[in-house]
Structure 1
Amino acid sequence: MTDTFLSIRQRLDRAGIAVAGLCALHCVATIVVVSALGLGGHFLLAPEIHRIGLALALIIAAVAIGWGALKHRRAAPFVTAMTGLTFMGGALAMPHGAGEAVLTLIGVLLVSAGHLLNLRPFARKG
């Protein structure tokens, strides 16, 4: 049964990394598309996309990172991911532009790093 829970947590961590990657892709694509073509700004810059993305990242991180922290008692994945989520939340308070993109990308990288740390096997003392 423990293997089943581990497998679920690992899938959630991988999903968290995928969501973070999609967020980063969205940020970069938005800057490129809006700057180069002037198209899609109304859709790509919609606040709902950012709120839904952050909510999804929060849910996945809460379950996967929280579950991992309870299981392996390591603070690094939790602290790293929560710092990233804080950056992502701060980006929502900024007007659209370079500052928002920078905060979001920093947050996405930290959340991904937290999930990677959560996936990484840890040395057992023995």
Structure 2
Amino acid sequence: MGQLTVPNSRIDHVAMGLSGLCLVHCLATAIMLGLLASAGGFLGQPIIHEVGLSLAMILGTIALGRGAMEHGFVLPTAVGALGLGVMAGALTLHEGGNEPLFTMVGVGILALGHRLNFMAAE
């Protein structure tokens, strides 16, 4: 039976999309919590943040690792690893405070790593 292979560029696209959804989630939650505290209750649940961020970190690690093995460039992986580190650090912070800021910065850096990874594969 043949092995299912997914092109790395597709994983990068999915990971970039997930990063974008994460950013939208963070911004929407902050806006909703600011305007209507009760309306943002569901999106503000810690489990949503933890699961989404963990999934983004897993996909990011897979995509960047595969990209480095395929094209041999280290820069996309290094940039992405910095973003993953910031995201992991955000998971250790208490909800509220600086946690959303660190999450958004980490997601942005990771998205840049995915973009560099995608460009290096072309």
TM-score by length of 2: 0.87
**DSSP-derived class of the 2:38 partner:** coil
**3-state SS in 2 of match to 1:39:** coil
2:87–2:107 contact (8 Å) kept in structure 1: yes
Structure 1 match to 2:63: 64
Q: Which residue type is aligned with residue 92 of structure 1?
A: L
Q: Residue deviations 1:3-62, cap 9 Å, x none? A: x96x62111101111000011111111111011111234311212111211221122112
The 10-residue stretch of structure 1 (11-20 or 39-48) with the greater mean CA deviation from structure 2: 39-48
Q: Relative to structure 1, is the Cα distance of residues 65 and 122 closer, same or farther in structure 2, using a 3 angstrom cutoff?
A: closer
Segments of structure 2 that go 5 or more residues without pairing to the other structure are none
Distance 1:8 1:122 in 2: 10
TM-score (norm 1): 0.85
| TM-align CA RMSD | 1.9
Q: Deviations over 1:45-80 (max 9, x none)?
A: 212111211221122112211011011111111111
Moved over 6 A (4+): none
Alignment deviations for residues 83-125 of structure 1 (CA, whole Å, 9 cap, x no partner): 11111111122222241111011101111001000000469xx
2:76 aligned residue: 77
Q: Contact between 2:73 and 2:120, CA under 8 Å: does it hold in 1?
A: no
Partner of 1:104: 103
Find the aligned partners of 2:120 and 2:87 in 1 and give their Cα distance: 27
Identity %: 35
The answer to whether residue 19 in structure 2 is matched with residue 17 in structure 1 is: no
Residue aligning to 2:28:
29
